[in-house]
Structure 1
Amino acid sequence: MTDLVTLAELGGPLAVIGGAAYARHAYPAVYWSTVGLPLSVARLLASYSSTVDACGLTVEPSRWRALAVRVTIRREVRPVPPRRGVIRPTSTGLRMRLRLVPGQEPADVAASAERLRHAWGVHAVHVRDVKPGVVELRLVGFDVLQQVRMPRRSDSRPLQVPVALREDATAFVRDYRTVPHELVLGATLSGKSMYLRNLVTELAAQPVVLVGIDCKRGVELAPFASRLSALATDPDQAAELLPVLVKEMEDRYDLIKTRQGIAPGTAAELITSDIWGLPEDERPAPLVLFIDEVAELFMVATRKEEERRDEMVTQLIRLAQLGRAAGIYLEVCGQRFGAELGKGATMLRAQLTGRVCHRVNDEASAKMALGDIAPEAVQASCAIAPELPGLAVVGDTSGGWSRIRTPYLSLADAAATCRVTAHLAPDVPALNPFRPYVPPLPDVAPGSMAIARPATE
């Protein structure tokens, strides 16, 4: 009996420790909610003052405060730390606001983020500027990019769609109104196609005109044909489609000019310089052009193909330079995109504000995407491991960058979503000749148990 009691006394704690270790590896969210969260909160509360002091985030008290402390409390005057707000736990970490003391700036806290991470035992610490004098610390308890789960409150808005998860556990939202054009680079099997798949699926649920140029004979975009208003599957078809898009852009500019020429005395809100200022009943639907394997549009073998290439590149540059006001947006994807593609490549790239760089085969490719806007992000993109498809570094012309990862979405589910939302495709008569053929679904006999399964990617 004594042996059984001893075994129970020793085996119980060992089982708990072993279960916690297993949960930390296999179910990090469960481990964080049950074990990691209480421990991190306890560490933070117990060591807040000493930790921020060791990180150099305290300042000497004012002369009046020091005098008041000596007179009333009669103790040693200590440095003043930032005032800590309420700790708000989340499913992935903690959030806490700090009111900075006079003489501090958000960069001071951001520079100490790595030391705060080790002191409080969390996976990462991210700093966000809330308002003058106040910053928010977002403590992430585990690596949220290992198993991507999108936040529940990432609701889509017109031309604003969540497509990936940031490393601080917030949703990466592709906002076409803010960043009209984007360049997406990535090597084979890096997750570039998955990013494009999520983007098309999210936009399919909105009244947006979706147009595709897929020079891989349509293998990437053809499954979404039911929702696409136009699709070109080789450079010859692209050379016919692009002039139509340019003409559509010019027609929209004529519509805007008509509105600008209204009589004097018209209300200021009726005067506009883009389609978003037009009345809703006159406003044309926004159009998003997806280009997969853009390098195929630049490659030439004969003199005739070179003339066609120059014409297509000119039209793409016009769309990139003038398309935003007309509600036309570009999503350009490829494995490499630089000056070696030929005339006009760098000029087109300069118009692509957003940059997403997945795993690439060489540092030069990463520099093509991020080197001119966020040089420090180049090394981060070069360090992406092959066993983490979908992981990418995203940046924009403001110089900011962060790591993101796209959630897995099967091709069958994406195609089914496009079929369900096919009725939302706006009617653009000029694009009807380029509308892809959609074969009817095969009839399934009643009572049949056959289930179509997507091929393994």
Structure 2
Amino acid sequence: MDAVTGYASGALLVVVALVSVWLLVTVVRYVRADKDTRVSMRQAVRVRWGWVRLARMAGLAVTDKTPSLLAQITVSKDSPTPAPRVLTPKIKVTPDRFGVIVRARTLPKVGLEEYQKSARFLADAWRCTRVSVLRDGPGRVVIRGVRSDPLTTPTAHRPTGLPPVDLTRWELGVDEYAARVCVSLANVPGVTVAGVPGAGKTSGVNKFVCDFAPSPSVQIATADGKVSRASEGDYADLVKRMFAFCGDNLDEANALFKRLVELRKRRSSVIRDVLGVKNMWHVGPSPQWPLTVLIIDEAHTFFREYKGSDATTKRLGALTAENARLVEDLVKKGRSVGILVILISQKTTGDAIPTFIRDVCPIGLSFAQKTVEAAVAALGEDIRNWPDASPVTLQDPAYVGVAVMAMQGRPGYTRIRTPYVSDADAARTAEDTSHLTSDPDLCLDALLHSTSRTTTSPAPLTK
């Protein structure tokens, strides 16, 4: 008996010690958390404590009339039948600054659809702005409840200066449930970005440049139709990390597009011999064969139709027609050799970006728009069926920096809050990574030389 008492006392001390450590860790986490996260931590406690009662009221519980194994063993034949058990799913609650993430199990007759039907009840009970329910694997669901709206909460992004771990992932921001949104760039030939002036288009692309600038396996060129020289406009702080830049001069833009088309042709002719594959994405970008990104801002500047019979108008019309043909070549044929085109315009209607270019781009983002027609041009006809997600609803100043896009694997359209990158951070990133800037043509020459092949490269185009 003394030995049993000793063991019990020791076990009790261990339990008390573990509980004390858990309480200490919880208190430290609570004290160190920001104001919004503290509110969410208190909310998480209420969710855990009230879950069993709420689940039964919301129809997320089932009655099991079969006695448990223990009851079947211990109950005699003459004893009354045990009362049916009411089973509720087990949950795990995680708080963050926007609300709570609840991971729950499913039960017979309580699956994904039942959770989704109860989402509005859960939102009211948990005092959330909105609640979403998604599958989290076999027999599991993840319930996301946001207390504050991530779309109206401005966020800032400070570049780390470190190269991205995965060059195929473009991190756009967070959706309306504060979940991170990433899109794959692998085998993507083009991206279109639309929206009224000041809605956040260029800021979103600036984040793209800052995130990928620390990698020598990414090289960027830009044609900006808003400015006349590199020292002006939104890309003035980033131009040091670009191997080529031109403004609204149609001749300079035409020369840049021709240069990239020649690069595309050279890569296409040697890719099998040099990389051993037909598609660069099978091996991924490298410093010798970098992902080459062409950003065309205010794209309508370079594609618009000029109507007139005088010599100057005819020459400009011929240039813009050739520009469209050259960019079409890059979008339709550049995917497998690692060329990506990002086209930015206020409206991506056919008169701004020719449809034979726009419709080949698999990724389309739209910031705020004034008309449904502009939203349809940017996102497709199906956006008419999702009026709540339409970029026409984003004209309030609170939604500056919010974009809409169709995500693979998700029904409808997703609204995304893109973070703001300050001019100082952009300039610092470009300055710190300027030594990584290389001409992809020269990279190809060096790669061919190392493999005992020779080629003739076009003359470099100065910034």
TM-score by structure 1 length?
Answer: 0.75
Pairing of 1:344-363 with structure 2 (within 5 A) = 345-363=354-372
Quick check: 2:58–2:121 contact (8 Å CA) kept in 1?
yes
- Greater shift, 203-212 or 128-137, is seen at 128-137
Question: 1:41 aligned to 28, 44, 51, which one?
Answer: 44
> Structure 2 CA distance, aligned partners of 1:422 and 1:204?
8
Question: 2:302 aligned to 297, 306, 328, which one?
Answer: 297
Is 2:162 the counterpart of 1:135? no
Is 2:99 the counterpart of 1:93? yes
Q: Report how many aligned residue pairs link the two structures.
A: 393
* Residues 1:101 and 1:314: Cα distance change in structure 2 (over 3 Å): farther
Quick check: 1:290–1:331 contact (8 Å CA) kept in 2?
yes
* Residues 1:169 and 1:222: Cα distance change in structure 2 (over 3 Å): same
Question: 2:242 aligned to 215, 228, 236, which one?
Answer: 228
> Structure 1 CA distance, aligned partners of 2:126 and 2:286?
55
Question: 2:293 aligned to 277, 285, 288, which one?
Answer: 288
Cα deviation, 1:248-282, whole Å, max 9, x if unaligned, reads 112112222325xxxxxxxxxx8522124459889
Q: SS of the residue aligned with 1:254?
A: helix
Is 2:323 the counterpart of 1:312? yes
> Structure 2 CA distance, aligned partners of 1:357 and 1:325?
26
Is 2:335 the counterpart of 1:324? yes
What's the counterpart of residue 173 of structure 2?
164
Q: Percent identity?
A: 24
- Greater shift, 418-427 or 83-92, is seen at 83-92
Shift in Å, 1:292: 0.5
What's the counterpart of residue 25 of structure 1?
none
Shift in Å, 1:102: 3.4
Quick check: 1:256–1:278 contact (8 Å CA) kept in 2?
no
Quick check: 1:395–1:402 contact (8 Å CA) kept in 2?
yes
What's the counterpart of residue 272 of structure 1?
277
> Structure 1 CA distance, aligned partners of 2:460 and 2:184?
30
Provide structure 2 residue ranges, at least 5 long, that are not aligned to the other structure. 1-32, 307-312, 443-456
* Residues 1:87 and 1:229: Cα distance change in structure 2 (over 3 Å): same
- Greater shift, 135-144 or 240-249, is seen at 135-144
* Residues 1:240 and 1:271: Cα distance change in structure 2 (over 3 Å): closer
Cα deviation, 1:17-70, whole Å, max 9, x if unaligned, reads xxxxxxxxxxxx8443334431x234323432443444444456476779x799
Shift in Å, 1:376: 4.6
Cα deviation, 1:264-316, whole Å, max 9, x if unaligned, reads xxxxxx85221244598895111111110111122122343333333222222
* Residues 1:424 and 1:62: Cα distance change in structure 2 (over 3 Å): farther
Cα deviation, 1:182-201, whole Å, max 9, x if unaligned, reads 21111011111211221111
**2:401 is matched by which residue type in structure 1?**
G
**2:305 is matched by which residue type in structure 1?**
V
Quick check: 2:55–2:61 contact (8 Å CA) kept in 1?
yes
RMSD: 3.4
What's the counterpart of residue 54 of structure 2?
51
Question: 1:245 aligned to 244, 260, 271, which one?
Answer: 260
Quick check: 1:148–1:165 contact (8 Å CA) kept in 2?
no
Question: 2:417 aligned to 395, 405, 422, which one?
Answer: 405
Cα deviation, 1:346-396, whole Å, max 9, x if unaligned, reads 222222222221111222111222234555555422211124321222324
- Greater shift, 122-131 or 424-433, is seen at 424-433
Q: Which has the larger radius of gyration?
A: 2
Pairing of 1:430-441 with structure 2 (within 5 A) = 433-436=460-463
> Structure 2 CA distance, aligned partners of 1:415 and 1:383?
33
> Structure 2 CA distance, aligned partners of 1:202 and 1:374?
30
Shift in Å, 1:158: 3.7
> Structure 1 CA distance, aligned partners of 2:103 and 2:80?
29
What's the counterpart of residue 395 of structure 1?
406
Q: SS of the residue aligned with 1:414?
A: helix
Cα deviation, 1:76-120, whole Å, max 9, x if unaligned, reads 554x54x22322233433222222223555344334333321111
Q: SS of the residue aligned with 2:211?
A: helix
* Residues 1:231 and 1:35: Cα distance change in structure 2 (over 3 Å): closer
> Structure 2 CA distance, aligned partners of 1:167 and 1:118?
17
Quick check: 2:367–2:404 contact (8 Å CA) kept in 1?
yes
Provide structure 1 residue ranges, at least 5 long, that are not aligned to the other structure. 1-28, 260-269, 437-457
- Greater shift, 323-332 or 369-378, is seen at 369-378
Is 2:158 the counterpart of 1:147? no
Quick check: 2:331–2:357 contact (8 Å CA) kept in 1?
yes
Cα deviation, 1:200-230, whole Å, max 9, x if unaligned, reads 1112111111010111125232332211111
> Structure 1 CA distance, aligned partners of 2:400 and 2:285?
41
TM-score by structure 2 length?
Answer: 0.74
What's the counterpart of residue 428 of structure 2?
416
> Structure 1 CA distance, aligned partners of 2:155 and 2:287?
41
* Residues 1:332 and 1:396: Cα distance change in structure 2 (over 3 Å): farther
**1:382 is matched by which residue type in structure 2?**
V
